[in-house]
Chain A
Amino acid sequence: MTSPSTLADATQLAQGIEQRLNQVLIGQQQVVREVLIALIGGGHVLIEGVPGLGKTLLVRSLAKVLELDFNRIQFTPDLMPTDVTGHAMYDQKTEQFRIRRGPAFTQLLLADEINRAPAKTQAALLEVMQERQITIEGKAFSLQEPYMVLATQNPLDQEGTYPLPEAELDRFLFKVMIDYPAHHDETRLVNMVLDGTIRASLDVDSLSPVTDGPGLLAMRQLSDGILIDEQVLDYALRIVRTTRDFAGLSHGASPRASIAVARAARVHALFEGRDFVTPDDIQQVARPVLRHRIQLSADAEIEGQTPESVLSRLLDQVEAPRQ
């Protein structure tokens, strides 16, 4: 399987994966790009969108193209933490406790409608996401890299849901907004299903792998070597720090967001075939990194502002790096 050795190879490979996924997920180029940036950058993604836009298809395609293990958990109000992580059970035959591993033991975990489960179940993912390990009965099990949690939530039907706590939101590198495809993309999608080019069901068998886990880790390693000028890094920090004292925001982003912006900007530069980060890379990744880490003030909410509009204003106001 292809494993890149140079940055140019990594760029070519990343673009190849992106192209392959775009063939399956029609009209969601931005979503595909952001999910791949998070994956290569070693982060997790929270995807928000109404049902039927291809979230599960995206994850299954990703698993297939990258030859990664994939598990899906449907979060429900009665889901228990052990249903996610696993538990120890007593085996009467051997008269010993046996560890039964939960669905979190995988490489790509789709946590569908994560906000439908109560806080304690959501919290079961905290250790998984941050430390890449699961502790059962006092014994820690490391997870196989690359590892990524893709959680989804539905912006509608908020009745009976449990909003994710800030601590957990902060652990997602990106919050990706998946929206309806454009008219011409939807037309293309329907035509492709009607003429049998693709199936309406979540069939990803036709996809062939592009790379594998080690290839992905090599890409990550190469992206770590991408240059960030001090001025550009300062620009990223100024954006994050401005969120903490900005009109319309009651709660800003943590230092973890600063790290996330820098890391994601590097991968974005890799996709663009550059070995250095520009202020444009910072701007491109700032929105998905920050939109779930900021909290609108009551005034701003009443005025009908959204995190997107506030972030746009913020990015307009923070001066691009000066030389």
Chain B
Amino acid sequence: MDLENASARLAPRSPWQAVDLGTRLFRRWAWPVIRTWLAFTLIPYGLLLWLATSQEAWWPLLLFWWLKPLWERPLLAWYSHALFAEELSLRQLFRRWPRYALPGLFAQLTWRRFSPSRSFNTPVWQLEGARGQQLNQRLQVLHRAPSNRSWLMTVVMIHLEQFMSFALMALVYMLVPWQLNLELSDWFFEESNLQSLMASVCLYLAMCITEPLYVACGFSLYLNKRTWLEGWDLQLGLTRIGKARAGTSAALALLVGALLLPTPPAQAQATLPADTKDEQQQVIELLAGEDYMPFDTFTYREWKDQDEDSEDSSIWETLWKKLFEWLTNSESRASTDKPFSIPSGLLWGIVWAVFAGVVVWLLLKVVNQMGFRLPGRQPQNAIPTHVAGLDIRRQSLPDDIASAVNACLQAEDIRGALSLLLRASLATLLQRYPVPLAAGSTEQHCLRTLRQHHGSTPALQFLGDLINAWVRTAWAHRPVQAAEVKALLSRWQSLGQAETAHG
């Protein structure tokens, strides 16, 4: 990598200035990178879109989205060469594809797919060719504080992509003649092939802009971080001085060595010759220049509770504070001293566990929505506690139903007797034949549901007769005779004995 050939000025910048540089890179090479994007993605996207439309499936478009790291590789290859004055042709990009696209791709498409720093990390695989332990150490070094803000840039890009695609959809909607009677809300709430197709095309068009921009910004963040860490600006400055003073390179090397040695300045000044002093002065001026010593002053303001320092804060507050401090300290410790210390891993473990939980929850929800049933999981029909307003729980019933019914009959309370018998019958039958019933289920609905699920058994025939007697008594105000209730009671008893005998 010849830094002197770089098309951009490599100087230490703040993360947002680096993102700004990324946008400048994109603006300068907009057409070549968009062309590269189209060359590598148009046909795959067209095929997947056709598949999605013809099969009315959502997974082809999800697949395209999932493969984004793959589509971004040619863009990064193009940028990385263009920055050093070598603009690759499409033919070259296709020919070199296995070389730059495959390293680290599996990781990026699997466990690192949701990394918010994708565009920042990709150059480590693609350009540096790091792998294994070396890769992890390299990433650890690049992600050391101060933060490179690459995750925040990803968040911004996601929003930009969505806004642009919605804006395009709105534009299409506005350009559609009103005679077609298209409602904008329908585009979001009512699915149709045409609408899905239009939305997908709009999203792709938005990606034609956002993806090259995203890669450029991530790449410039990466360059910026390396400039900070490796002092590329110093290297360039010294090289320039070296060239200007051709023939005195050895003296320059000595000078740099002298500067880096812990020699007292006065003594160094005294021992160096006059030419060397000039060189030293130039280097000091160089280092003091705006480009090389961009010291910034930051002022942070934060809300502080007036009672924060008071000692009567609650136990929970104290615990939260301690946990937060511990996490913060462990993160800073991990980022400076111990790259793989346990607290950092723990923190990431929690994040990934939460993420995995969300993914599993979403999958279960999708599976549930699509009507699939997990193996070994049988639907459980909760036994209702009330049917038709009747409490059918065992504990609500008397121990001896027959005596209680007879007592009601002796008191000429036909309704009471039938109500009791109906409750007891439903409680028994629903224990034996569980069916989904709600509080609003009427007697007839209960009977219909039981028959639908279990056919016409003697027990359900008895229940049908009992419900008829109940309906006549309760709703038609034509109470049945006591003898009929007794007959029903004896049928219920004999059914109970038969059920006991069978099982």
A283 and B443 alpha carbons, distance in the complex (Å): 12
Residues of B within 8 A of A231 (CB): 474-475
Interface presence of B280 (CB below 8 A): no
A25 and B266 alpha carbons, distance in the complex (Å): 110
A97 and B221 alpha carbons, distance in the complex (Å): 88
Which residues of chain B (466-503) have a CB below 8 Å from chain A? 471, 474-477
A317 and B471 alpha carbons, distance in the complex (Å): 21
Contact with B along A124-162 (1 / 0, CB 8 A): 000000000000000000000000000000000111000
Query: Looking across the interface, which residue of chain A has its beta carbon closest to that of B386?
Result: A319
Interface presence of A192 (CB below 8 A): no
- Does the CB pair B477–A227 fall under 8 Å? yes
Residues of B within 8 A of A320 (CB): 387-389, 439-443
Interface presence of A246 (CB below 8 A): no
A321 and B419 alpha carbons, distance in the complex (Å): 12
Query: Looking across the interface, which residue of chain B has its beta carbon closest to that of A157?
Result: B181
Interface presence of A94 (CB below 8 A): no
Residues of B within 8 A of A157 (CB): 181
Interface presence of A201 (CB below 8 A): no
Interface presence of A115 (CB below 8 A): no
- Does the CB pair A278–B389 fall under 8 Å? no
Interface presence of A298 (CB below 8 A): no
Interface centre among B441, B443, B444, B475 (most CB of A within 10 A): B475
CB proximity of B426 to chain A, nearest CB, Å? 12
Interface presence of A316 (CB below 8 A): yes
- Does the CB pair B439–A278 fall under 8 Å? no
Interface presence of B38 (CB below 8 A): no
Query: Looking across the interface, which residue of chain A has its beta carbon closest to that of B188?
Result: A302
Interface centre among A227, A229, A278, A304 (most CB of B within 10 A): A278
Interface presence of A280 (CB below 8 A): yes
Contacts A278-B444, A317-B439 given: A323-B477 contact, CB under 8 Å?
Answer: no
CB proximity of A223 to chain B, nearest CB, Å? 16
Contacts A159-B181, A276-B477, A278-B444 given: A321-B388 contact, CB under 8 Å?
Answer: yes
A304 and B387 alpha carbons, distance in the complex (Å): 30
Interface presence of B438 (CB below 8 A): yes
- Does the CB pair A229–B475 fall under 8 Å? yes
Which range contains the number of A residues in contact with the other chain? 20 to 34
Interface presence of A236 (CB below 8 A): no
Interface of A is mostly: loop
CB proximity of A234 to chain B, nearest CB, Å? 11
Query: Looking across the interface, which residue of chain A has its beta carbon closest to that of B415?
Result: A323
Residues of A within 8 A of B388 (CB): 279, 320-322
Contact with B along A297-323 (1 / 0, CB 8 A): 000000010000000000111111111
Residues of B within 8 A of A212 (CB): none
- Does the CB pair B390–A278 fall under 8 Å? no
Interface presence of B296 (CB below 8 A): no
Residues of B within 8 A of A317 (CB): 438-440
CB proximity of A122 to chain B, nearest CB, Å? 21
- Does the CB pair B439–A319 fall under 8 Å? yes
Contacts A229-B477, A319-B386, A323-B474 given: A280-B438 contact, CB under 8 Å?
Answer: no
CB proximity of A92 to chain B, nearest CB, Å? 44
Interface presence of A289 (CB below 8 A): no
- Does the CB pair B440–A278 fall under 8 Å? no
A317 and B444 alpha carbons, distance in the complex (Å): 17
Residues of A within 8 A of B419 (CB): 323
- Does the CB pair B474–A229 fall under 8 Å? yes
Residues of B within 8 A of A159 (CB): 181, 183
For B, the interface residue count at a CB cutoff of 8 angstroms equals: 23
Interface presence of A274 (CB below 8 A): yes
Interface presence of B445 (CB below 8 A): yes
Interface presence of A219 (CB below 8 A): no
Residues of B within 8 A of A232 (CB): 475
Interface presence of A21 (CB below 8 A): no
Partner of A304 from the list B189, B441, B444 (CB cut-off 8 Å) is: B189
Query: Looking across the interface, which residue of chain A has its beta carbon closest to that of B390?
Result: A322
Residues of B within 8 A of A278 (CB): 442, 444, 471, 475
A214 and B444 alpha carbons, distance in the complex (Å): 34
A276 and B476 alpha carbons, distance in the complex (Å): 5
Query: Looking across the interface, which residue of chain B has its beta carbon closest to that of A232?
Result: B475
- Does the CB pair B445–A280 fall under 8 Å? yes
CB proximity of B450 to chain A, nearest CB, Å? 15
Contact with A along B413-454 (1 / 0, CB 8 A): 001000100000000000000000011111111000000000
CB proximity of B499 to chain A, nearest CB, Å? 26
Query: Looking across the interface, which residue of chain B has its beta carbon closest to that of A228?
Result: B475
Query: Looking across the interface, which residue of chain B has its beta carbon closest to that of A321?
Result: B389
Residues of A within 8 A of B387 (CB): 320
Interface centre among A157, A315, A321, A323 (most CB of B within 10 A): A323
Contacts A316-B439, A320-B389, A323-B415 given: A280-B444 contact, CB under 8 Å?
Answer: yes
Query: Looking across the interface, which residue of chain A has its beta carbon closest to that of B189?
Result: A304
Query: Looking across the interface, which residue of chain B has its beta carbon closest to that of A274?
Result: B476
- Does the CB pair A316–B390 fall under 8 Å? no
Query: Looking across the interface, which residue of chain A has its beta carbon closest to that of B179?
Result: A159
Contact with B along A219-250 (1 / 0, CB 8 A): 00000000101011000000000000000000
- Does the CB pair B442–A279 fall under 8 Å? yes
A315 and B387 alpha carbons, distance in the complex (Å): 13
A279 and B446 alpha carbons, distance in the complex (Å): 12
Residues of B within 8 A of A277 (CB): 475
Which residues of chain A (185-235) have a CB below 8 Å from chain B? 227, 229, 231-232
CB proximity of B307 to chain A, nearest CB, Å? 38
Interface presence of A275 (CB below 8 A): yes
Residues of B within 8 A of A304 (CB): 189
Residues of A within 8 A of B443 (CB): 279, 320
Residues of A within 8 A of B444 (CB): 278, 280
CB proximity of B141 to chain A, nearest CB, Å? 47
Residues of B within 8 A of A229 (CB): 474-475, 477
CB proximity of A297 to chain B, nearest CB, Å? 16
Contact with A along B376-390 (1 / 0, CB 8 A): 000000000011111
CB proximity of B93 to chain A, nearest CB, Å? 45
Contacts A279-B388, A279-B442, A320-B389 given: A227-B474 contact, CB under 8 Å?
Answer: no
Query: Looking across the interface, which residue of chain A has its beta carbon closest to that of B470?
Result: A323
Partner of A280 from the list B181, B189, B442 (CB cut-off 8 Å) is: B442
Residues of A within 8 A of B439 (CB): 316-320
CB proximity of B464 to chain A, nearest CB, Å? 14
Which residues of chain A (257-293) have a CB below 8 Å from chain B? 274-280, 283
Residues of B within 8 A of A283 (CB): 440, 442, 445
A247 and B363 alpha carbons, distance in the complex (Å): 27
Residues of A within 8 A of B471 (CB): 278
- Does the CB pair B476–A275 fall under 8 Å? yes
What would 9 A/B residue contacts be, using CB atoms closer than 8 Å? A232-B475, A276-B475, A276-B477, A278-B442, A304-B189, A320-B440, A322-B388, A323-B419, A323-B474
For the complex of A and B, list the 7 residue pairs with the smallest distance between their C-beta atoms, beginning with the closest: A322-B389, A316-B438, A276-B476, A159-B181, A320-B388, A279-B442, A316-B440
Chain A residues proximal to chain B, CB less than 8 Å: 157-159, 227, 229, 231-232, 274-280, 283, 304, 315-323
5 additional A-B pairs beyond A275-B476, A283-B445, A319-B386, beta carbons within 8 Å, are A278-B442, A278-B444, A280-B442, A320-B439, A320-B443
